[in-house]
């Protein structure tokens, strides 16, 4: 049984042919498989028409001239066809580092405003990278900048708040003093002279027993401050001070002795300021013991406590003599803003820069 052929070749598979084979070989292969016998399919060209086409020289690709044989009779080589799908793929583009991420880290180094800007830049950089992860990188850097901005903002806020508090507490006295000078009465001597010298004339009757000094020792509280006014009926001042120190120690308080007199406008200025919050803070855990210098003149001389300048403030040594002391000359006007910083530092042993150095009387207790 013969093989059945059709217009496009036999039923069996033709051998593999390459486009670059010689034209003669292609022509021979086509001539061997052209159907020249039997009944042809409908519409197929006749054997006479197909033969010239099979032996015709191959057309040049892309409409070029047909391949010509070489001078030696060898078949000409067809041009090489480049397959675009055999080329290697292009390398992927490298992601760009986010400029906002770098700016968030750098901005954190430029003070308070830079810290706030670091938070904004870091947040914006993270959003930018999340929206285009294939084009931007630096998410970790943006997170570092954002964290630095938050941390430094808290630090700067604390530092600025502390500075404002320090300025209000310790420097506000100068402003209050300047305002007070314009509102003083025509007699500024009493307000501007915190430390009044002891007069040589006999004290006025108001300062004698039965005047402003209580008959019995009175203890009261003004806010959180304990105030003790030594009464006239005490046996000796040293015994009463020893008693007050023992009670203060039991309650965790520190004794501060204040020498006063009547009349004494600077002393009354201190009395009026005791209820101020600044004074309450400065004298926290302090027992203020007020002693009249006219009633207890001999007792004060006995324990070597100065009474020439008043109001005076003294810390006691173990033998009840003054260990350290200052007077009202350490501040200007007798208002809480001026008094609180001085007394607060004095009772804690931190008042070192003074207008008048402390000189204990001869024969008194230890000297600092």
| 202: three-class secondary structure by DSSP | coil
φ and ψ at residue 200, rounded to 5 degrees:
-80, -20
Highest mean pLDDT: which range of 90-99, 114-123, 299-308, 355-364: 299-308
Residues 238 and 332 both lie in one domain? yes
Q: Extract the tokens encoding 151.
A: 């941390």
Question: Is 364 within a domain?
Answer: no
Is-contact 125 138, C-beta < 8 A? yes
Residues 280 and 214 both lie in one domain? yes
Token look-up 């004794």 returns: 255
Cα torsion through 237, 243, 246, 252, rounded to 10 = -80
Residues 111 and 227 both lie in one domain? no
Question: Is 227 within a domain?
Answer: yes
Residues 334 and 210 both lie in one domain? yes
Classify residue 189 as exposed, middle or buried by CB count within 10 Å of its CB (0-12, 13-18, 19+). Answer: exposed
Q: Is cis: bond before 311, omega within 30 of 0?
A: yes
Q: Give the pLDDT score at 315.
A: 94
Residues 234 and 285 both lie in one domain? yes
- Pick the last residue of a domain from 121, 152, 167: 167
Q: Give the pLDDT score at 266.
A: 92
For 212-247, the pLDDT digits (tens) are: 789 899 999 998 899 999 999 998 999 999 999 999
**Residue range(s) defining the domain that contains residue 322:** 204-347
Q: Give the pLDDT score at 187.
A: 40
Number of domains in the chain: 3
Residues 134 and 53 both lie in one domain? no
Residues 158 and 225 both lie in one domain? no
Residues 163 and 209 both lie in one domain? no
On the question of pLDDT at 45 being above 90, the answer is: no
For 250-303, the pLDDT digits (tens) are: 999 999 999 999 889 999 999 999 999 999 999 999 999 999 999 999 999 999
Q: Give the pLDDT score at 312.
A: 94
User: Does the global pTM surpass 0.95?
Assistant: no
Mean pLDDT for the chain?
A: 75
**CA-to-CA dists, residue 343 to 204, 270, 294, angstroms:** 29, 11, 24
Question: Is 89 within a domain?
Answer: no
Q: Give the pLDDT score at 162.
A: 85
């Amino acid at each position: 049984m013969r093989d059945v052929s059709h217009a496009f070749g036999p039923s069996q598979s033709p051998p593999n042919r390459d486009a670059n084979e010689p034209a003669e070989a292609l022509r021979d292969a086509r001539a061997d498989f052209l159907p020249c016998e039997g009944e042809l399919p409908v519409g197929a060209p006749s054997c006479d028409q197909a033969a010239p086409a099979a032996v015709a020289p191959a057309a040049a690709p892309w409409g070029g001239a047909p391949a010509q044989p070489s001078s030696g009779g060898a078949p000409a080589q067809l041009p090489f066809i480049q397959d675009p799908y055999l080329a290697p793929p292009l390398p992927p583009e490298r992601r760009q580092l986010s400029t906002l991420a770098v700016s968030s880290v750098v901005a954190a180094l430029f003070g308070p405003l830079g810290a706030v800007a670091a938070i904004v830049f870091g947040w914006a950089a993270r959003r930018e990278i999340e929206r285009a992860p294939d084009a931007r990188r630096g998410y970790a850097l943006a997170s570092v900048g954002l964290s630095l901005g938050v941390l430094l903002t808290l630090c700067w806020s604390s530092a600025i708040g502390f500075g404002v508090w320090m300025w209000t507490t310790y420097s506000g006295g100068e402003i209050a003093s300047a305002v007070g000078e314009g509102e003083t009465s025509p007699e500024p001597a009493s307000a501007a002279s915190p430390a009044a010298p002891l007069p040589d004339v006999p004290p006025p009757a108001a300062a004698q027993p039965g005047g402003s000094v209580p008959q019995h020792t009175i203890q009261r509280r003004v806010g959180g401050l304990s105030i003790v006014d030594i009464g006239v009926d005490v046996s000796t001042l040293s015994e009463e001070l020893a008693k007050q120190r023992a009670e203060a120690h039991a309650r965790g308080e520190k004794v501060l002795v204040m020498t006063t007199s009547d009349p004494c406008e600077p002393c009354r200025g201190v009395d009026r300021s005791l209820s101020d919050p600044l004074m309450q803070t400065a004298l926290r855990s302090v027992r203020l013991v007020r002693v009249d210098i006219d009633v207890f003149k001999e007792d004060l001389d006995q324990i070597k406590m100065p009474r020439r300048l008043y109001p005076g403030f003294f810390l006691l040594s173990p033998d009840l003599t003054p260990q350290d002391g200052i007077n009202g000359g350490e501040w200007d006007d007798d208002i809480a803003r001026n008094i609180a910083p001085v007394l607060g530092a004095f009772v804690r042993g931190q008042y070192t820069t003074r207008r008048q150095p402390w000189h204990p009387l001869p024969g008194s207790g230890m000297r600092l």
